[in-house]
Amino acid sequence: MDEFELIDRYFSGRGARRGDVPLGIGDDAAVLAPPAGRELLLTTDTLVAGRHFPADGFPPDAIGHRALAVNLSDIAAMGGTPAWALLAIVLPQADEAWLASFAEGFSALAERFDVALVGGNVARGPLSITVTAAGFAPQGQALTRRGAQAGDALVVTGALGGGAAGLRAFFQGAAVQAAPVRAYAHPEPRVQAGRSLLSRAHAAIDISDGLLGDLGKLLYAAEGLGAELEAQALPLAPGASREDALGPSDDYELLAAVPEREMPAVEASLEGPLFTRIGRVTPTSGIRLDGRPLAGAGFRHFA
């Protein structure tokens, strides 16, 4: 099977069919027709085998799901609506069963979120997958990390710690279909929740580095503000401990700072993922849990 057969067999026509894709896979570049009056959101993420997912025994459909989900989560965190994706895949060999399963996991999620796969690349090498996703937000309204204010309620979607608990369960030999592993293998991008935060939240971020790490980024962007969290309020995923919920867990839930006056509307907008209030933004810096300061709540690159 050469590269073109591989693309044809596994990737052409996958994902949603959309009217704003005059030309998708097959030419030197895709031709896309962004809607007037909206801004384009663009994001990319790479998953490397053995670093971002287990190198052995992890199901290819879950790798396909995660590769797209982590990108859709970034679009969701901006309050955006995803539309298009590019898929660049580096493979040690063209294993047909692997490719079929991978493509199925990717496409099922793409179809569910109305995302068209419009192009990509295939190369030989150590397994890694890079997805670039594009979406739209109303002009000037995309939700950013910047803008949290003292007194804002801190809310999260879904449950926390599921990524860490799921990975632990996987390495302990739990079935991939078991609830804790599923939370890790098939994170749900919170697109609808992100949209319902548009024009209501002051700031939002997706929790991909753990609650404390990403809360740290939100507060860093707000310059000098802090946060007070309530341990009792943290919604724990199946099998997750409080440490899992606070620490570096691959969760892909949303964290938002919402002014009190908007909280009734945010709570009422719930269909699907629950928003849980876990604390509030404080005028003084540092993160406190039940009144006690937490050390090392910042974030580090290449730590």
| Chain residues in the site for ligand ADP (CB under 6 A) | 7, 11, 25-28, 87, 89, 117, 119-122
CB 176 to ligand ADP: min, Å? 24
Candidate ranges 61-69, 117-125, 224-232, 280-288; the one touching Mg ion (CB under 5 A): 117-125
Q: Does 141 bind Mg ion (CB under 5 A)?
A: no
The token pair at 193 is 């929740």
Q: Which is nearer to ligand ADP, 117 or 258 (CB)?
A: 117
Would strands 286-289 and 292-293 be described as parallel, antiparallel, or unpaired? antiparallel
Q: CA-to-CA distance for 38 and 60, rounded, in angstroms?
A: 35
Partner in contact with 181, chosen from Mg ion, ligand ADP, none, beta carbon below 5 to 8 Å by kind: none
Of 128, 60, 127, the C-alpha closest to 93 is 127
Confirm or reject binding of residue 121 to Mg ion (CB under 5 A): yes
Q: State which residue, 117 or 185, has the beta carbon closest to ligand ADP.
A: 117
**Nearest 10 degrees: CA dihedral of 195, 165, 161, 128?**
-50
Who contacts 58 (Cβ-Cβ below 8 Å, separation ≥6)? 170, 176, 185
- What are the respective helix, strand and coil percentages of the chain, to the nearest 5? 30, 30, 40
Nearer to Mg ion, 23 or 174 (CB): 23
Instruction: Answer yes or no: are the C-beta atoms of 91 and 207 closer than 8 Å.
Output: no
Q: Residue 85 or 218: which CB sits closer to Mg ion?
A: 85
- In angstroms, give the least distance from the CB of 185 to ligand ADP: 21
Q: Which does 248 bind (CB under 5 to 8 A by kind): ligand ADP, Mg ion, none?
A: none
Q: CA-CA distance, 14 to 220, in Å (whole number)?
A: 40
- Name which of 121 and 177 has its Cβ closer to Mg ion: 121
- Residue 173 has a CB neighbour count (10 Å cut-off) of 7
The least CB distance from residue 10 to ligand ADP, in Å, is 8
- Binding part of the chain for Mg ion, among 43-51, 120-128, 177-185, 226-234 by CB under 5 A, reads 120-128
Degrees to nearest 5, angle at CA 232 with 231 and 236: 85
User: What is the enclosing helix (H) or strand (E) of 153?
Assistant: strand 153-157
* Type of residue at 75: I
Which CB atom, from 43 or from 132, has the smaller least distance to ligand ADP?
132
Residue 26 contacts which entry, ligand ADP, Mg ion, none (Cβ below 5-8 A, type-dependent) = ligand ADP
Parallel, antiparallel, or unpaired: how do β-strands 275-282 and 226-229 relate? antiparallel
Report the partner that residue 271 touches, choosing among Mg ion, ligand ADP, none (CB closer than 5 to 8 A by kind).
Answer: none
Q: Binding of Mg ion at residue 26 (CB under 5 A)?
A: no
Considering beta carbons, is residue 87 or 237 the nearer one to ligand ADP? 87
The residues binding Mg ion (CB under 5 A) are 121
